[in-house]
A and B are shown apart, each in its own frame.
Chain A
């Protein structure tokens, strides 16, 4: 770390602080992710941080009813399992009275009030024996303290994504979001690439001014564009819909696209371009055959930005896309609605949110290199 030898104590402090920082930053997301794999009951009875560990619970269970008893030799016997095989648990202590729920440990045999005995094993198997028939209508109550292993379910995702009956499902919104995102990512790249080339490698009066204007437009708040553009869209008959959203995203993404691509293209070696010009290549050929392939990293950077931005956008969708029928709703809007109507149903909220977060996260981890590169080039120095 430093050239001097004073490492060890400080370096431990560094490791621990970074670990704490990472944990702090990761915790909220993990909470939501874990919750999306739990049932509504589990979510509302214990915090998600307890879900990863086996949990100890006090349960009140019932043995089988006396009508199921069998005769073995001279004994009347009721035998069974307190836990179904697919949901195993481990009993530590148990009891047969609500006032003494921990009188016996697993494997003990206890006398029953109305005669006979009961034995309960750790895995929940029990055996009741009596010399006379068991009477009564309902089974014996057994109070157990059991440790259940962590339990997760995929049912939330099934409900949210694949249940066609579910009007609040995310399947349609997912498709709609994709429909908005892809054209809104590709079209600005094409337009911006040509403009960036002109601004980087062609001489013409007003070039410096244009670049300055684009740097200025980079920070113009979206809010300013809402009313005038909605008005414009209504006047020329686009109204609310995909076309409007695509156009709006294209317009709003252009300054960054042009800025990023120009900065990158300016850095390309002059010789290649001049040589091509001398060899008689037209500007159009130079652009498509040389500049575009060389600019791939910058194109990828912008594509990721624009993809994340359009996928995660709420405001543009609210204003330009979603009409009163709600047929074109996107995931962010759907989630906001759920926050209003299903504020307490965390199994639905967490799962829906994760469905929408998953795709950007995948893109993020797969293409982080380009994202970082773009950020470094994009912040005005």
Chain B
């Protein structure tokens, strides 16, 4: 069957199945199980209303359970086991305790990935939030501010892979006797550089050239959120400061920034999560060579190139561990807000 046809069929089956399920299960509940008539009408309505939320939730809970909750537990289990193929062709999982973690901690590549991830965490959220805040403040009340914002926001729509290609062209290097077609090398030579540089292979600094890609993508996100927050600041506080003789910089740093601190934190943590999961950029641009490995790509390497599920799962758990503080913080904030 042609995949496009299969796709349409899936939409029909998927959507039809869902709608049909919701409709029929509600009918069943109201007409057959607890009909709202006869001597028990009142009691039946109450009972139906106890059951109904779970009818509405069931498909979502099943999907969430299978595709997100179960994998967390299963990955934890796999990280504590060793997979092997028995002579009769079946796969067996043997409990090995913390062996996978020990093995992982002994690999220099893992430490390289961890160290690089730490650098990403220090640099990308800070720069993206900083640039986003700058762009939000500068475009605020500018006549063509909306156009400017939409252009800075645009990279959000571009895939990490697309961005990787875009920046590979920026970083391109040709031998010195040829004309440079990468703008970075062209500028570098124009401003007195001696020889063109293969930016992505320069140890240590190449990490920053990769980070630039993510900063480029995430700045727009930060800008949009912070721009809305800036608009939400009560006008009186700013006017009062200006009347008291504050200059624009004081207004920005002493009046505006403190009032949107909460939003800045949200933006910062959201980008932090993106950074922890960053995979495509490194995979497409360097594939972890020249000292640019990161955890997510390390994990992919272990899983699908080395075919080592144990260590792969262990490294996935490390990512989960790093995400957990933010997860807890988010949940706590959400609960506070609901009260």
Q: What residues of chain B lie closer than 8 Å to A35, measured between beta carbons? A: 169
Judge if B86 is at the interface, Cβ distance under 8 Å: no
- Shortest distance from the beta carbon of A281 to any chain B beta carbon, whole Å: 12
Judge if A227 is at the interface, Cβ distance under 8 Å: yes
| Cβ A254 vs Cβ B60 within 8 A | yes
Judge if A350 is at the interface, Cβ distance under 8 Å: yes
Judge if A296 is at the interface, Cβ distance under 8 Å: no
| Cβ B326 vs Cβ A219 within 8 A | yes
| Cβ B323 vs Cβ A220 within 8 A | yes
- Shortest distance from the beta carbon of A267 to any chain B beta carbon, whole Å: 13
Q: Which of A220-266 contact B (CB under 8 A)?
A: 220-229, 231-232, 242-243, 246-248, 250-252, 254-255, 258
Q: Which of B216-271 contact A (CB under 8 A)?
A: 216, 219-221, 224-225, 228, 239, 242-243, 248, 251, 262-263, 266-267, 270
Give chain A's interface residue range (CB within 8 Å of chain B): 35 or more
| Cβ A221 vs Cβ B320 within 8 A | yes
Judge if B199 is at the interface, Cβ distance under 8 Å: no
Judge if B123 is at the interface, Cβ distance under 8 Å: no
Instruction: Give the contacting residue for B316; candidates A18, A217, A221; CB below 8 A.
Output: A221
Q: What residues of chain A lie closer than 8 Å to B7, measured between beta carbons? A: 178-180, 182-183, 242
Instruction: Give the contacting residue for A375; candidates B15, B78, B221; CB below 8 A.
Output: B221
| Cβ B330 vs Cβ A218 within 8 A | yes
Judge if A143 is at the interface, Cβ distance under 8 Å: no
| Cβ B161 vs Cβ A381 within 8 A | no
| Cβ A178 vs Cβ B4 within 8 A | yes
| Cβ A212 vs Cβ B52 within 8 A | no
A122 to B51 alpha-carbon distance, docked (Å): 87
A43 to B172 alpha-carbon distance, docked (Å): 12
Contact with B along A348-377 (1 / 0, CB 8 A): 011001001100110111001001100110
Contact with A along B63-83 (1 / 0, CB 8 A): 110111111101100100000
* Selected interface stretch from A87-95, A102-110, A154-162, A328-336: A328-336
Chain B contact residues, majority secondary structure: helix
A28-B169 contact given A17-B138, A194-B56, CB 8 Å threshold: yes
- Shortest distance from the beta carbon of A148 to any chain B beta carbon, whole Å: 16
- Shortest distance from the beta carbon of A74 to any chain B beta carbon, whole Å: 49
A253 to B248 alpha-carbon distance, docked (Å): 42
| Cβ A186 vs Cβ B11 within 8 A | yes
Q: Which of B128-182 contact A (CB under 8 A)?
A: 131, 134-135, 138-139, 141-142, 145, 148, 150-162, 164-170, 172, 174, 178-182
A186 to B139 alpha-carbon distance, docked (Å): 35
A197 to B74 alpha-carbon distance, docked (Å): 30
- Shortest distance from the beta carbon of A190 to any chain B beta carbon, whole Å: 4
- Shortest distance from the beta carbon of B138 to any chain A beta carbon, whole Å: 5
| Cβ A215 vs Cβ B141 within 8 A | no
- Shortest distance from the beta carbon of B333 to any chain A beta carbon, whole Å: 6
Instruction: Give the contacting residue for A364; candidates B70, B157, B166, B239; CB below 8 A.
Output: B157
Q: What residues of chain B lie closer than 8 Å to A44, measured between beta carbons? A: 174, 178, 181
- Shortest distance from the beta carbon of A24 to any chain B beta carbon, whole Å: 9
* Selected interface stretch from B19-27, B100-108, B112-120, B201-209: B19-27
Instruction: Give the contacting residue for A254; candidates B14, B30, B49, B64; CB below 8 A.
Output: B64
- In the complex, which residue of chain B has the Cβ closest to the Cβ of A283? B52
Instruction: Give the contacting residue for B142; candidates A15, A219, A226, A248; CB below 8 A.
Output: A15
| Cβ B320 vs Cβ A224 within 8 A | yes
| Cβ A339 vs Cβ B164 within 8 A | yes
Q: What residues of chain B lie closer than 8 Å to A61, measured between beta carbons? A: none
Q: What residues of chain A lie closer than 8 Å to B197, measured between beta carbons? A: none
A250 to B63 alpha-carbon distance, docked (Å): 8
| Cβ A363 vs Cβ B157 within 8 A | yes
| Cβ A381 vs Cβ B333 within 8 A | yes
Judge if B309 is at the interface, Cβ distance under 8 Å: yes
A339-B168 contact given A22-B151, A204-B54, A220-B72, CB 8 Å threshold: yes
Judge if A300 is at the interface, Cβ distance under 8 Å: no
- Shortest distance from the beta carbon of A229 to any chain B beta carbon, whole Å: 6
A48-B181 contact given A190-B15, A361-B157, CB 8 Å threshold: yes
Judge if B32 is at the interface, Cβ distance under 8 Å: no
Q: Which of B309-339 contact A (CB under 8 A)?
A: 309, 312-313, 316-317, 319-320, 323, 326-327, 330-331, 333-335, 337-338
Write 5 A-B pairs (CB below 8 A) sorted by A numbering: A22-B152, A29-B155, A29-B166, A224-B319, A228-B71
Chain A positions near chain B (C-beta within 8 angstroms): 1-4, 10, 14-15, 17-19, 21-22, 25-29, 31-32, 35, 43-49, 175-176, 178-180, 182-183, 186-187, 190-192, 194-195, 197-199, 202-204, 207-208, 210-212, 214-229, 231-232, 242-243, 246-248, 250-252, 254-255, 258, 282-284, 287, 308, 311-315, 318-319, 328, 332, 335-336, 339, 346, 349-350, 353, 356-357, 360-361, 363-365, 368, 371-372, 375-376, 379-381
